[in-house]
Amino acid sequence: MFNKLIPLSLLVFLTACGATQPPPYQKDRNPEDRDQYSGAEGLTQQQKDQTYLMNKVLSEQCTAAKIDLAIAVTDKNASEIKQQNVLISRTCI
């Protein structure tokens, strides 16, 4: 009887452990709002989220530089045109 109790206890213990583990990441949230990642799947998603967020920042900087360039061209501000062109070359992919 003791031999049957150990495997049953082990099975119950392992099942309970699996039930309390958090999900790998917060699938129901946007990448900007996720702050919890766990396990291999969570780590993979965290890397994808970081890449997405970095690209988003670059895209926003690119858009802002293009708007500032248009203003600089309208104002015929040569130094600002040069500065915005440098920013565009760095941020626009």
Where are the chain's structural domains?
2-91
How confident is the model over 47-55, as a mean pLDDT?
Answer: 97
Q: List, in order, residues 6 or more apart from 79 with CB less than 8 Å away.
A: none
Rounded to a whole number of angstroms, the distance between the first and last alpha carbons of the chain is 68
pTM of the predicted model as reported, rounded to 2 decimal places: 0.69
Three-state SS at 29: coil
Q: Averaged over 37-49, what is the pLDDT? A: 96
pLDDT at 21: 78
Q: Burial, 81: exposed, middle or buried (Cβ in 10 Å; 0-12, 13-18, 19+)?
A: middle
- Both tokens of residue 34? 């996720």
**Model pLDDT for residues 58-86, shown as the tens digit of each residue:** 999 999 999 999 999 999 999 999 999 99
Confidence band for 7, pLDDT divided at 50, 70 and 90:
low
